[in-house]
Homo-oligomer: A and B are copies of this chain.
Amino acid sequence: MDEIKLIEIKESILTDNDIAAEQLRSRLKAEKTFVVNLMSSPGAGKTTLLLQTLAALKQTYKTGVIEADIDSMVDAEKIRAAGIESVQLRTGGFCHLDSNMVKQGLEALGSEGFDLVFIENVGNLVCPAEFDTGAITNVMILSVPEGDDKPLKYPLMFSTCDVLVINKTDMLSLSDFNMNTLYGHISRLNPNMNIFEVSAKTGDGVKQWADWLKQQVSDFLQ
């Protein structure tokens, strides 16, 4: 593999991100590239979960990763070390990705040959929820130490995502996180949300999430 590509993001003249995102999604459907947009707080374990997910899926699908960060390449380097092609979007001050940035990432990756591409969005529960990236599915990762009240504080994120992965379940014993409280909040905000409970560190529950995703990609590629 070549050197990790680094794309410095410039603000695009966005007349309408929603339209551009829909166009990108149509193109991805035509090209049969399933794009997963992963969003979470800083430190919720996106990269660790992604590495575990890649390990479970990379034999089945040609997979790539678009990493986004304000100002570092650590995550792309970890992904690359695991033998997965990745590009790094360095967003400068931007706290989110929009569909134009994702398009730049896909072009740098050369996405036409890929079955499955993960976007690791900027660690932030606010702005990324406001910008449609054009992805096929939106996944939010909430880690146990963040608390069960997060849907009350970041309702847009919880209501726009198709999937919630609750990570760091190995920390439940040290936490006052109440799973029933969380499920209650979500049933009000987004009753159709698919929820998985995992510990990316111990591997607990990762198989269920990876199997579900594998099925989604398989259906999409039909």
**Taking beta carbons and an 8 Å cutoff, which residues of A are in contact with B?**
41-44, 69-72, 74, 93, 95, 122-127, 130, 143, 145-147, 149-150, 152-156, 168, 170-171, 174
**Identical chains in the assembly:** 2
Instruction: State whether B143 touches A70 (Cβ < 8 A).
Output: no
Docked complex Cα distance between A42 and B152 (Å): 12
Q: Which residues of B contact A126 (CB under 8 A)?
A: 70, 93, 95, 122, 124, 127
A123: chain B residues within 8 A (beta carbon)? 41, 125, 153-154
CB distance from A105 to the nearest CB of B (A): 18
Chain B residue contacts of A153, Cβ below 8 A: 42, 69-72, 74, 123
A150 to B43, CA, bound (A): 8
Partner of A174 from B71, B74, B155, B171 at Cβ < 8 Å: B171
A137 to B149, CA, bound (A): 28
A122 to B155, CA, bound (A): 14
- Given A43-B143, A43-B146, 13 more A-B residue pairs with CB atoms under 8 Å apart are A41-B41, A41-B123, A41-B146, A43-B145, A43-B147, A71-B153, A71-B156, A123-B125, A124-B124, A126-B127, A127-B127, A170-B174, A171-B171
In the assembly, what is the distance between CA of A71 and CA of B153, in Å? 6
